[in-house]
Structure 1
Amino acid sequence: MLDIEPERDAAFATTLAKGLAVLEAFRPDQISMSNLDIARSSGINRPTVARLTYTLEKLGYLKQEKSKYRLSWRALMLVNPLLANLKLLHIARPSMQKLAEDLGGTVSIGTIDGTNFVYLETARVNENIWSSQDLGTAGPLLPTTVGHSLCAQLSEPELAAKLSEMESASPELWEKYSQSFIQGIESCRNRGFSVARGVWIPGTHSAGAPILRDNNFECFAIGCRVPVYRLSLNQIEDEVGPRLKSLADSIRSQLKYIMTAV
């Protein structure tokens, strides 16, 4: 949920923030929502939501179907400029798909969004084994290996600030996962990957590896999640983690070559 009413910030456009909060209320498991649904999800009162959905529908960002709304294709115009020139994704896609098929899991690339990560690309086998992890899917940094891998690329002052931000924003997650989160960061820095067993999505093990930090200081990392029943006892540690690190190294090398050749 967006912080739509920051204290004592005269320059902050609250109405714009509320409109964005309405758009962000839609999720893969909530693709069609009434004004009441959006109000409950966003924390904005229902009369304000009704004005905002009316406006967003007139602008083409929402479509109304009876008493409910869904995102319109126009919303893609907001994200397309971000992804269109992200060469990292073009390089990574084939190898991501190959690894997903080999392991029978999902392989995703993500970046940092506050105290969360957001997925920019996902490859998977053709099975709906668990909840999907596609473009725009977000989750908390603290319990996830992709979170370890992203934050491992921060400087020490940046990491200290991020840890403080996460502790303040999610005290329950902090109490449960802060120690393993710091250990995961150390693992990424020392070995090039981290692993987690049965964390965040039950019944799956995961690994994560840092890819790079670009010229805009944005961090990118790759994560892999595999159902437990498809893994032998130490496979996540002995095979999946090293293969993910190797893939991250390959992506980084290819991107460096392309950028040097340009």
Structure 2
Amino acid sequence: MHDIPGLPRAKGDEPDRKFIEALARGLDVLRAFLPGDGFLGNQEIAQRTGLPKSSVSRLTYTLTQLGYLTYSERMEKYQLGSGVLALGYAFVSNLAIRQIAKPMMQELANNTGTSVGLADRDRFKMIYVEYSSPTNVMAFRHEVGDRVPLSTSAIGRAYLTALPDEERQFFFTHIEKDNPDQWPAIKEGILESLTSYREKGFCHSYGEWDPDVNGISVPLTLGKNTIYCFNAGGPAYRLSRDFLETEVAPQLKNMVRNIEATLIRY
């Protein structure tokens, strides 16, 4: 069994007496809701989670009673409730790195004309927990809670480069399984980014996640299982590879060092 926190248990994993299966299934139901989804029915949730519809029906009923879902009798579907918002707000508001990083991220965004993000891993994707856009400049932007892939985004590649070799190989196996045809090109891009980090101190993705977006990223490791990543990027027509590597990368690396130093004193 893998020992990487935040990942679902795989079939064939040895039983863990401390692991509460019913709780895990309930959380999987909440994870089935993605940004922009609105309402989902039990059948849709069952398809997304792989759980039996009968189990989903009991779980959605329980989560509704607890305030984590709300039910529309007219539509016969569910949407996320205020209980989820309360949990999310508690997480973001108490995240020390977010409070420290925000002003530095905004300064970097204004100085370079790039969008600057802070992300954490959420299973096999990266999720943004903070984001800053430059003032008075048209920029590509994300919202807090948006997710991007580990394999092709700069910020995802930064996370992969910060992992020990054995853990990185675990993610490689998963990415290859989900993208068998594209895997050779994906792996080449990740390894190029890994080389860039070792030689230059930053990772990159130039049109590989989105053809119209260029970005660079730097990881920040705070403990064995705590890796945050910062990126800077935006529209490829305005932010060339040379500009990002020559002008932005030194400032991004310096910002991450300053955030790390501040956290140590925090």
> How far apart are 1:39 and its partner, in Å?
2.8
Native 8 Å contact 2:118 2:131 kept in 1: yes
Give the alignment of 1:114-153 within 5 angstroms: 114-125=123-134, 133-153=142-162
The equivalent residue for 2:32 is 25
Native 8 Å contact 1:22 1:38 kept in 2: yes
Per the normalisation by structure 2, the TM-score is 0.81
The equivalent residue for 1:95 is 104
Q: Any unmatched runs of 5+ in structure 1? A: none
For residue 38 of structure 1, the aligned residue among 41, 45, 63 is 45
Secondary structure of 1:252's counterpart equals helix
1:230 and 2:238 are equivalent in the alignment? yes
Secondary structure of 1:209's counterpart equals strand
> How far apart are 1:81 and its partner, in Å?
5.2
> How far apart are 1:222 and its partner, in Å?
0.3
Change (3 A) 1:189 1:77: farther
Give the alignment of 1:1-262 within 5 angstroms: 3=8, 6-7=11-12, 9-10=14-15, 11=17, 13-65=20-72, 66-67=74-75, 68-80=77-89, 82-125=91-134, 133-210=142-219, 212-232=220-240, 234-256=242-264, 258-259=265-266
> How far apart are 1:60 and its partner, in Å?
0.5
> How far apart are 1:246 and its partner, in Å?
2.2
Secondary structure of 1:241's counterpart equals helix
> How far apart are 1:121 and its partner, in Å?
1.5
Give distance in 2, aligned partners of 1:172 and 1:140: 17
Give distance in 2, aligned partners of 1:178 and 1:197: 15
Q: Name the aligned partner's letter for residue 7 of structure 1.
A: G
Native 8 Å contact 1:108 1:224 kept in 2: yes
Give distance in 1, aligned partners of 2:166 and 2:42: 42
> How far apart are 1:138 and its partner, in Å?
2.5
Secondary structure of 1:17's counterpart equals helix
Give distance in 2, aligned partners of 1:159 and 1:96: 28
Per the normalisation by structure 1, the TM-score is 0.82
Change (3 A) 1:97 1:44: same
Native 8 Å contact 2:139 2:234 kept in 1: no
Secondary structure of 1:38's counterpart equals helix
Q: CA RMSD in A?
A: 2.9
What is the number of equivalent residue pairs in this alignment? 255
Give distance in 2, aligned partners of 1:5 and 1:209: 30
Q: Name the aligned partner's letter for residue 198 of structure 2.
A: R
Give distance in 2, aligned partners of 1:113 and 1:192: 24
Stretch moving more, 145-154 or 106-115: 106-115
Q: Name the aligned partner's letter for residue 256 of structure 2.
A: A
> How far apart are 1:47 and its partner, in Å?
3.5
Q: Deviations over 1:111-134 (max 9, x none)?
A: 23443222222223579966x633
Q: Deviations over 1:17-75 (max 9, x none)?
A: 32212101111121332333323332334343222212111110011233232211211
Give distance in 2, aligned partners of 1:169 and 1:114: 14
Give distance in 2, aligned partners of 1:195 and 1:5: 31
Q: Any unmatched runs of 5+ in structure 2? A: 1-6
Give distance in 2, aligned partners of 1:142 and 1:168: 12
Secondary structure of 2:259's counterpart equals helix
Change (3 A) 1:112 1:255: same
